[in-house]
Amino acid sequence: PDHTMDARIATARAALGTDVVLLGHHYQRDEVIRFADYTGDSYKLSKAAAETNAKYMLFCGVHFMAETADILAQPWQQVILPDLNAGCSMADMAEIGQVEDCWDSLERAGLTDEASGGLIPLTYMNSAASIKAFCGERGGLVCTSSNARGAFEWAFARAGKILFLPDQHLGRNTAFAMGIPREQMVVWDPYQINGGVSPDRLKAAKVILWKGHCSVHQRFLPEHVDRVRREEPGMQVIVHPECRWEVCQKADAVGSTERIIKCIEDAPEGSSFAVGTEIHLVNRLAKRFAPLGKRVITLDDAGCLCTTMYRISPQHLAWALENLVEGRVVNRIKVEDDVKQWSRVALDRMLEIS
Ligand code: 13P
Ligand code: SF4
């Protein structure tokens, strides 16, 4: 029963002591995130995972985050995802076979040759470990929403073109902010022959964007920003870079979950914000900053929910912890060694540039 969860989680945690560390992404619900030892965006949590000495890492987030923690962990550490159904629809939009087919087509078109300037694959953290390994093996790297620009600069210092996986919006927003015009970006659709892009357009492109998106952030629309401008003069609009380009163009600031929080923290009393990101974070910020005289609302009417993040419940947390107390590891996330090796290379490149 719900009312017993807090006590059961606290008891199990006390029994495990420093053997266990809880990592919580900003989109987790209140009843879960309040138990986290570390909270953060994907970048901050991957750093925490790489630095902790706890034997068990309980990841209150989604599958790709737990996989990343396992890739960065020491061999004696184990990573647990309290509910294995906590996936990410965006990460699922790039499947390794499709990405290999895409690369083969680009190779046949001569785009991977150094003579034609070269091509670097760059994947958003929100992707399977196999995609990260694919990038690592081909001289590429991983980025998060907080270091995408640095990763683009790293790649452009080594090649003329980037294949960006799997979020077309983060890729487009980042490239555009660096001064790359929209005409030099193409979208590769894995369900069409040759990605649905003509050879001429491919040759002229600087950035090839995989046709993936976040179903949560894609629900924020330019008209939501227009309405805030009309009805709430003086209110600032901050959005996550997984939002559409048209929304990001109209916003006052664009940033990762950590950056969104910092923007509000640093603003003077009396400021107000419409935020385009997941509703649990927005609601928590609204509650936290109201007593400090700052108003926070969601950018749309209803609020966008990441249903997979929401799958992690106090019940799952209690179940995973109590099994650990009994000496059983449940829902372990373990990346295969060959995949681990190359995905670690891609992640290390990211950690070096950040
Ligand atoms: P952040 O890295 O900004 O926390 O974003 C992760 C994510 O999944 C957003 O949808
Ligand atoms: Fe994936 Fe979107 Fe949920 Fe982030 S908000 S975990 S990108 S589905």
- 25 alpha carbon – ligand 2 mean position (Å): 11
**Can you give the pTM of this predicted structure?**
0.95
Kindly state if the Cβ of 256 falls inside 6 Å of ligand 1: yes
User: Coil, strand, or helix at residue 69?
Assistant: helix
Confidence at residue 332, expressed as pLDDT on a 0 to 100 scale:
98
Ligand 2 is surrounded, with C-beta below 6 A, by: 62, 88-90, 126, 214-216, 242, 278, 306, 308-309
Q: Domain spanning 217-298: which CATH class is it, in words?
A: alpha beta
Q: Which ligand is nearest to the CA of 42?
A: 1
What ranges do the domains of the chain cover?
Answer: 2-86+309-335, 91-214, 217-298
E strands in the chain: 20-25, 38-40, 56-60, 78-80, 119-124, 141-143, 161-165, 185-188, 207-210, 236-239, 253-254, 272-276, 295-298
- 347 alpha carbon – ligand 2 mean position (Å): 19
Percentage, residues of the chain above pLDDT 90 = 94
Cα–Cα distance, 225 to 204 (Å, whole number): 33
Cα–Cα distance, 273 to 237 (Å, whole number): 6
Which residue's alpha carbon is nearest to atom 6 within ligand 2? 88
What is the residue-averaged pLDDT of the chain? 96
pLDDT band at 147 (very low <50, low <70, confident <90, very high): very high
pLDDT tens for residues 204-216?
999 999 999 999 9
Kindly state if the Cβ of 98 falls inside 6 Å of ligand 1: no
CATH among 3.40.50.150, 3.90.1150.10, 3.40.50.300, 3.40.50.10800 for 91-214: 3.40.50.10800
Q: Where are the alpha helices (DSSP H) in 58-147?
A: 63-72, 96-108, 129-137
CATH homologous superfamily of 2-86+309-335 equals NadA-like (3.40.50.10800)
Confidence at residue 115, expressed as pLDDT on a 0 to 100 scale:
84
**Dihedrals phi, psi of 192, to nearest 5 degrees:** -120, 155
pLDDT band at 302 (very low <50, low <70, confident <90, very high): confident
pLDDT tens for residues 182-205?
999 999 999 999 999 999 999 999
58 within 8 A of 317, measured Cβ to Cβ: yes
Stronger pLDDT, 276 or 303, i.e. the higher one? 276
Confidence at residue 301, expressed as pLDDT on a 0 to 100 scale:
84
- CB within 8 Å of 43: residues ≥ 6 apart: 125, 144, 145, 146, 147, 256, 258, 354
- 72 alpha carbon – ligand 1 mean position (Å): 18
Averaged over 213-241, what is the pLDDT? 97
Cα–Cα distance, 275 to 297 (Å, whole number): 6
Q: State which H helix or E strand residue 14 sits in.
A: helix 2-16
Do 91-214 and 217-298 have matching folds? yes
Residue type, position 2, single letter = D
pLDDT tens for residues 60-95?
999 999 999 999 999 999 999 999 999 999 999 999
